[in-house]
Amino acid sequence: MIVPGPFLKYEGKVYTMNSVPGNKVYGEHFRTLNGEEYREWSPYRSKLAAYLLLGGKDWIINSITSVLYLGAASGTTASHVSDLLLGSTVYCVEFSPRTFRDLVKVCDVRKNMMPILGDATNPSEYAFVVPKVDVVYQDVAQKNQAKILMDNMNAFSAKYGMVSIKARSEDVAANPDTIFRNSEKVLKDAGFKIIDKRLLDPYEKDHMMIVVERVE
């Protein structure tokens, strides 16, 4: 029996219940389950979907959490996160003005998504519009990814953080395992507890999702 809810794993795929029935964001497939419309969430286009399909902690982002999403791009993954946040908001930070225009179009339809043009390395740029959040989710392809997560979690008092570490963005020549260990160390040294870590193969090469909890 399928238990209805905003997030489902079904027949080897992941889905979110469409909060805007009939609306597609990136050409995703629809499926009707228990009388509700669900959007298929591709693990090849979303590192968060890959993490969840690989057995990641699906309770971190739920209907009552607020999420700061760093590196929202055109809104593909962020739109699925918005499906999960039935009573809350996903604050979507994107640096590229060109990509931001596409993000705004998605946010116009999905009212619990707030687009923010800003630099994730400088949380003070958007502190005036982002309140305290429960979770910081990061998908930013540049150096110092663990530090960026840490700085934003501290700026917005987030209890949980999730970061997709892209080894080649940190150092194209270094061993990815070394990059992952160094990223973990940065977070541990800052007082965060690692509660999960998963390689995202076969969906993303040389990527690891690291999930942390603030230790009070």
Q: Which residue has tokens 């194209």?
A: 172
Q: Would the CA dihedral through 19, 21, 25, 31 be positive or negative?
A: positive
Distance CA 214, CA 175 (A): 28
**What is the DSSP secondary structure assignment for residue 3, as one 8-state letter?**
P
Q: Where are the domains of the chain?
A: 46-214
Residues 6+ apart with CB under 8 A from 15: 7, 8, 9, 31, 33, 38, 39, 40, 41
- Summarised one tens digit per residue, pLDDT across range 152-209 is 999 999 999 999 999 989 988 889 999 999 999 999 999 999 999 999 999 999 999 9
Distance CA 4, CA 118 (A): 36
Distance CA 107, CA 74 (A): 10
Q: What is the pLDDT of residue 6?
A: 85
- Summarised one tens digit per residue, pLDDT across range 130-157 is 999 999 999 998 999 999 999 999 999 9
**Cα maximum dimension of the chain:** 50
H/E stretch holding 80: helix 76-84
H/E stretch holding 185: helix 176-189
For 46-214, CATH number out of 3.30.1490.190, 3.90.230.10, 3.40.190.290, 3.40.50.150 equals 3.40.50.150
- Beta carbons of 113 and 141 less than 8 angstroms apart: no
Q: What is the pLDDT of residue 26?
A: 94
The structure's pTM equals: 0.94
- Beta carbons of 176 and 108 less than 8 angstroms apart: no
